[in-house]
Structure 1
Amino acid sequence: MAGTVSRWAFIDDISSSIKYTGPWYETTNSPVPGPMYGKSQHGVNGTGSLTYDFSGTNIRAVGTSAATQQGGVVDPSWECTVDGVAIPVVAVSAIPQNQRVLCQTTSPLADTQHTFALTAKSAGTPFWFDSLLLNPSVNPTGAKPDQPDVLYLYDDPSIQYPSGSWQAISDTATGSFGQITQQAGSTMYLGFTGTKVTWYGRMVAGYPSGASQGSYSIDGGSPTTFDIPGNFGSWSTQYQQVFFETQTLTREKHNITVKFLGAAAPLFLEYLTVQNGDLVFTGNDKLPASIGDHDKGGYDGDEHPHSSTGVIVGGVLGGVALIVLIVVIFFLWRKLQQRRRIKG
């Protein structure tokens, strides 16, 4: 039912609502490849803790998954609690990555006010905290996020894929999912309230690795082209890639149409973030009549941009083959006629 689906909201590490204790420091330099949410993280060497008060039903801590191991001891280590009760910690990934879940609630909390706490211990390898993901109360009675960035997953009911060929795929290594297209002209449409949209995707291994392009249009305006750099030179998937970020908008109702222009690397959507976005789903927008026409550049929806050339070349070769066949038949017929005259 409209108005009852609560989305996740990002709380960045620099939020004044997060209280740090210990020798934490802020950095804009990533310890591993890949973007950090909000372009910053908090790190700690030694022992540090943080707390955050919220009203909601779920919470996750997100940061860099990178650790060392000696004698069976993993460094750094951390633990998380909600209202003093421990919640599960997520094991370090085999490949160091940014924006990985560090700990999370695994079942819904009572929809009331809570306190989240995280304690990290480092014996030499820094612990990195990036953000919190909060499933907030729709009508909070206590603390609530201040102008949060709201997460719209690829399968959010507000996101529509009105044209082209899109495919949902999963990643067994990370347990994450997304929507992918290789067909030029494929479009995505979203109606939203907010001040900025950011597209997060991947450069996926096993697909064409050359560069591609896409475009986005806000409220039916002129399209803005963005690059999809591809995965050239890498055998592994590149996660948490920012494909584009819109300009800052007034906080009111808007819509965005995104179009894949081709022609090599696919367009992948894992999620969008909408600054100052809607925390609840309130129903889909009606698609504008011109949704397929917001960009007349690129390949303009042609799934195979070189197909016209292929048709022409195929026609020429087919014509030549037909002429050769006629000549051969005529030659054989003449030979047969000559043999009949000799026998006669």
Structure 2
Amino acid sequence: MSGRWIVVDDTDPQFSYNGPWQLTSGSKYDAQGNWGKTFNNSLHGLGSSGSLSFTFKGSRGRLLGTTDIKNTSGLIDPTWECFIDQKSFGTSKPFQYIENNWALCEWTGLDDGQHTASVRVASQGQYFWVDRLLYMPSDDVTLDNAATVLLDETDPAISVSSGWGDLGELGRMTQKQGSTAQVKFKGTSVTWMGTIPSSLPHASSEGTYSIDGGTPVRYTIPGLPDSDSADQFNYVFFKTDPVPLGDHELVVTHEGTESSTPLVLGNLLVENQVVQSNSAHLIGAIVGAVLGGLALILIAIVGVVYFRRYRKSSKSSIYKPINLVDSEPFHYIRPFTLTRPTDPYDPHPQPQSYSYPQQQPPPPIHYQVPITYAAPTILSSTSSSSGHHVVTPYPFTAPSATASSYKPPQPIHGHAIPIIRPPPPPGPSIPTQRRQKKLDALHNQATSPQSSAQGNSSTSSQPSSSSRVVIHQDSGVRLPGSVPEELATPVVEHPPRYTLG
């Protein structure tokens, strides 16, 4: 429809940027100048050489942005040149002050059709800022797909009541209380923009608006601070709340008077969809970054706590102190009651047992080590009253490794288990008989310690009454060098006795 412009924000993908362009928030320039705020709070800037281009179908075009030039002795920075279909269209005259919504390029008198508008920028560090592009579309271009459409005050979709008048090229205005304006639009929201003139009363005024007969929403028009203030162009009087996309009717009622700031209609921006501003994108990015940072911090805290607990448990298991007082020596087994073997040839056996201190044996160590114990040997050097030989017990020791199935021998009561004496070999030699006599003599000393001690009290080579005589049997078992406490008394040792043969 003739008279309506399509507005394209600088963040729209229809723009093609060449060079190191930067997207920034327009809020830092919103308070500059008197030409209003940036559109959708976003700007694209270039501080070096580059270009941009945009293709549209229509008869007119206009590029708006923020002018912020640097003039050094007549040298302007930045500089730019406008093109249409690769033909130079000149440039706008630089403005020495910072202003938003400034026309940087304008293409007019074009054939109705498709065109490519472009801008070449050269900068020595001063930024060239682009805000939006407007173009007058061809008649066959539908406006339903356009994000934002601009309507001026003469658009047939706008109707006003009595009390409205012209304000030159700036639009329409009213100072009459109760005057209204109706706008039919297709979209989701409407932004009412106009001018606050400095030549009219500066007192603030109010009004209301409603959509489709809904609840009125109040708005306020702030007055200018003093009579010397400049006109405020492109001022946003209000923006309606979003409604579902479709055909709607907006009704605006002015409640001011002739002594207050008038309501001015310059143009309307109709949004056909909910357009998120750059600030919304920035807020979303900030929120996402904050949540991500909190998640990382939480993960780090959990990791540190877990690591400390793991290290503490590892230290306690590795450096667990060993109680050397209560633990048993590895090589030592507690003595137990051992039944004294009896001579099978003794007609009056009298079983006797040697009682050692009764203590609980330590838990068995389940090493599969075969252990062979030598059977008691019958010594024939001592005779009982009946003329038979008597067996002398020997101390029982064993290596530290024990078989789990081993049980200590039980005392024998009543009858002794007969032990079969191996038959002596025939004809022992004389040296063997002499050695046997010496061993029998030693055996007599072991069985009669008191008589030996009384009869040889003056001989220093004989063992004392507090000594014990141990006759070793060669079982093949080798013990560590440490001696249990029970066996710490002096020991007189004799070599093992072997059978004749």
Q: TM-score, normalised by structure 2?
A: 0.50
Partner SS, residue 76 of structure 2: strand
Rounded to whole Å, the distance in 1 between the matches of 2:242 and 2:20 is: 34
Partner SS, residue 69 of structure 1: strand
Rounded to whole Å, the distance in 1 between the matches of 2:59 and 2:250 is: 30
Superposed displacement of residue 192, structure 1:
1.3
Alignment match, 1:124: 125
Superposed displacement of residue 249, structure 1:
1.8
Partner SS, residue 22 of structure 2: strand
- Closer/same/farther in 2, CA of residues 81 and 145 from structure 1, 3 Å limit: farther
Alignment match, 1:168: 166
- Closer/same/farther in 2, CA of residues 239 and 6 from structure 1, 3 Å limit: closer
Identity over aligned residues, as a percent?
35
Alignment match, 1:152: 151
Partner SS, residue 262 of structure 1: coil
Alignment match, 1:110: 111
For the pair 1:275 / 2:262, whether they are aligned, the reply is: no
Q: Is the 8 A contact 1:88 1:106 kept in 2?
A: no
Alignment match, 2:335: none
Rounded to whole Å, the distance in 1 between the matches of 2:174 and 2:166 is: 9
Superposed displacement of residue 145, structure 1:
9.2
Superposed displacement of residue 179, structure 1:
1.2
Counterpart selection for 2:61 from 59, 62, 73:
59
Q: Is the 8 A contact 2:59 2:108 kept in 1?
A: no
Alignment match, 2:21: 24
Rounded to whole Å, the distance in 2 between the matches of 1:216 and 1:145 is: 24
The alignment yields a C-alpha RMSD, in angstroms, of 2.1
Superposed displacement of residue 84, structure 1:
0.5
Partner SS, residue 16 of structure 1: coil
Which runs of 5 or more structure 1 residues have no equivalent in the other structure? 171-175, 278-344
Post-superposition Cα deviations, 1:225-264, rounded to whole Å, max 9, x if no partner, equal 1111111145111111111111112221111111111142
Rounded to whole Å, the distance in 1 between the matches of 2:42 and 2:63 is: 15
Partner SS, residue 38 of structure 1: helix
Rounded to whole Å, the distance in 1 between the matches of 2:81 and 2:252 is: 40
Q: Is the 8 A contact 1:9 1:134 kept in 2?
A: yes
Alignment match, 1:256: 250
- Closer/same/farther in 2, CA of residues 131 and 73 from structure 1, 3 Å limit: same
Q: How many residues align?
A: 265
Q: Is the 8 A contact 1:88 1:104 kept in 2?
A: no
Rounded to whole Å, the distance in 1 between the matches of 2:62 and 2:41 is: 19
Q: Whose strand proportion is higher, 1 or 2?
A: 1
Q: Is the 8 A contact 1:66 1:92 kept in 2?
A: no
Superposed displacement of residue 166, structure 1:
1.8
- Closer/same/farther in 2, CA of residues 6 and 267 from structure 1, 3 Å limit: closer
Larger Rg over CA atoms: 2
Rounded to whole Å, the distance in 2 between the matches of 1:211 and 1:6 is: 32
Superposed displacement of residue 115, structure 1:
1.2
* Paired residues for 1:1-344 under 5 Å: 4-28=1-25, 29-31=27-29, 32-33=32-33, 34-93=36-95, 95-107=97-109, 109-140=110-141, 146-163=145-162, 165-170=163-168, 176-233=169-226, 235-263=229-257, 264-276=260-272
Q: TM-score, normalised by structure 1?
A: 0.72
Partner SS, residue 52 of structure 2: strand
Q: Is the 8 A contact 1:6 1:137 kept in 2?
A: no
